[in-house]
A and B are shown apart, each in its own frame.
Chain A
Amino acid sequence: MTAAAPNTFRAGPDERGFFGLFGGRFVAETLMPLILDLERAYEDAKKDPAFKAELEHLNTHYTGRPSPLYYAERLTEHLRKDAPAGKGAKVYFKRDELNHTGSHKINNCLGQILLARRMGKTRIIAETGAGQHGVATATVAARFGLPCEIYMGATDVERQAPNVFRMKLLGAELHPVTAGNGTLKDAMNEALRDWVTNVENTYYLIGTAAGPHPYPELVRDFQSVIGREAKEQMLAAEGRLPDTLVACIGGGSNAIGLFHPFLDDKDVAIVGVEAGGHGLDVENGHAASMNGGRPGVLHGNRTYLLQDDDGQILEGHSISAGLDYPGVGPEHSWLRDTGRVEYVPATDREALDAFQLLTRVEGIIPALEPAHALAEVVKRAPRMDRDRIILMNLCGRGDKDVFSVARHLGVSI
C-alpha cells in the first residue's frame, strides 16, 4: 500500500496526532486529560526561548553534544576489499554512542524532564528494554532531584545486568515485570498501569517515538538534534549531503532523530533496519513489525504491530533487548507506507557478526541495536559506488552487551 507522496514529509502529525492512518491517542479515559495537558505544555514549551536555551545548554555541557561525525576509514577499506572494482561507499558514523550515558536516549530524557518540571510533576516513571532508556531516565532524574521508578521486563533484567546495577546506583527504584514474556512490551503495560494509578503527580517519560500523541512528536523533536547536527557536519566534511542514511529501528527514536531533518532531501535514500531475529520466516521469531506485522492499536497509537490472526499481540524476538518490541513509532509506519523510507531486517546472526567486525576494525564496541544497522551497511556499502556516502547512526555503545555477546559466542567470562 503506497499513499500519494505529500509535498513535505516533515509536517506531521496533524492536530489529532495522526501521521496518515497512524498515531492518534488510544488511551483510557483516566489518562486522556493528562495527555491533553502534556500536549498544551509541549506546545507552550516549544514557543519558549528559555526552554530551548536550557535544553541546548544541557545538551552541550551535560551530554557532550554535538556528537562527532566520524569517517570510518578502516571499515570503508575493509568493505572495499571484496567489493567489485569502483564500488564501496564511504562509511560515516554519527557517534551518539559517545553521549553521556552511552546512547541517544539522553537527548530525549533531558527534553522530557524539563517538560515534567514545567508541568509541576514530582515523580518520574519509565519503561526500559535494554536498559539504555532506564539508565538515561535515572540519570536525568538524579540530575534534577526527582524520584524515579523504572519498569523492566524480568527477562531483560537478567540479560542486561550491568544496566540494572547502573540504574540502582543512580537511585532509581527498579520493578522487574514478570507478566507476559517479561520484555519491553510488558514493561510498558506496567508503566501505563502505574501512570493510571498515580496520574496526578507522575510524569511518564516514554523512551521512544511511540505511544499516544504527543509523545511520538516530542520524542522525535528532541532526537532530531542528531539529524540536524549530522547535516551540518556532513556539509562541513564533504561539502554535500550523504547519499544514504541507515539506522536501526526498535521503537525507532534514534532513527527518526537522524531521518527527520533529511526527509525532504529527495536525493538522500533512507533505510531503517528492523530486528530480523531468527529470520522473518520463523513464527514469532523476530521483531520486524513493519516487515512481518500489520497495522493495529497498542500502547496508545495505531502502528504496524506483530500480532496473530485474532489481534493478540506477539512478543517478538531479538538478540537485542532494545529492539524486541512488537510495535514501532507511528511516523515510521507512515514513512513505510508512503515509500519515503525503506525498512529492511537484519538477523541476530548478522548483527552479532557486525558487532565483532566493528570492534576489530575500528576499535569501537557498538551496542547490539546499532549493530543491526551496521549489518545493513556491510551489505549495502559494497554495492554502492566509491564516491557515494553512507551515514549510519551509531546510537549506542556496547559495554552493556559484552556479557550477553560472550554468552552467544559460547565464551564464559
Chain B
Amino acid sequence: MADYRFTFSGLAVAETPDPFGVWEAPAAEIKAPPVPGLTWRAELPEAAAGLEAVHARLATLERGEVHLAQAEAELRAALETITPIAEEPVAGATTYAFSIPPEERFHPQKQALRNTLSGFAALEAPQMTGVVAFGAADVFAEDQEREGFQEAYRRWLAFVEQVRQLTSFASTVETLIAGERIGLTRVSWDGDFETFWVSGLATLSRETHRQNVNLVLASRVALLRLISVVAIGAGGLIAKSIALPPGGQVLLIPAAVRFISDVMAALREWDAAQG
C-alpha cells in the first residue's frame, strides 16, 4: 500500500494530524503550490487499484465519523461524573469531584481531561474569590496541570488554524495516476466548482477523480461536524458550572478539542490493532 498517498497540505497544517485518519501531511520535500489554499492530493499507481484505494479511504472516513460520535458520547459520560461535593474544604469554595475508575475504557484520555481542567482552574485561581479544585481528594502535581494546559493550548492553535483555512480558502483536489495529474477540481469555500480534465481521459480514471472529490467534500463536512461536537462538549462542561471567573469558561473549548481528538485517536488505534 506504500504506493498510495493521500496528502493534505496548505498553510501551516503539516503538524496537524487529520482526526479522521484519512489524510496525512505531505513529504517534507514536496512544496505546496504557490497558489494559496488547501490541497488534497491522491497519488495512485493506476486507475483500478486507485479507485479501490479511494473507496477504502471513504470507508475510513465513515469509521472516523463513528469514532467522533463515540467520542462525543464519552465526553457526555465524563460530564456525568463531574459532581459538586458537599464538603467545603475552604469557606465559600465550590469543589468538584471528577473520579475515573482505573478500569474505565478511556481512563488515560479522561485523566488528561481532568489534568487540563485542573490546570485551567489553577491558573485562574488567583483571580477568584473562592477556590476550585477537581478531584478534591487528590493533589495534582503542578507539572501535570501545566502539561495538560499546554497540550490543550497547542492542539487548540492547530485546530483553529485548520478551521480558519477550511473556511477561508478554496480546496484543490488533485488526482495523480502514475505520477501524472489526470484531474483537478477547485472547490471554493462557498461551493463553486472548477474541474480540469486531461483531454480524452478514460472512464475509470474519471471515476477515480470523481470519487476523490467526494472524499474531500466528505472530509470537509466531517471537520465541520467536529467543530459542532467540540462546541457542544464545551457547552456541557460550561453548563457544569465549573467555577472559573466570568469569561474563563471559554477555556473549556480547548479542553474539549483535546479530549475528542484523544478519544478518536485511541479508537483508531484499536481499530488498526484489530485489523
A binds B: no
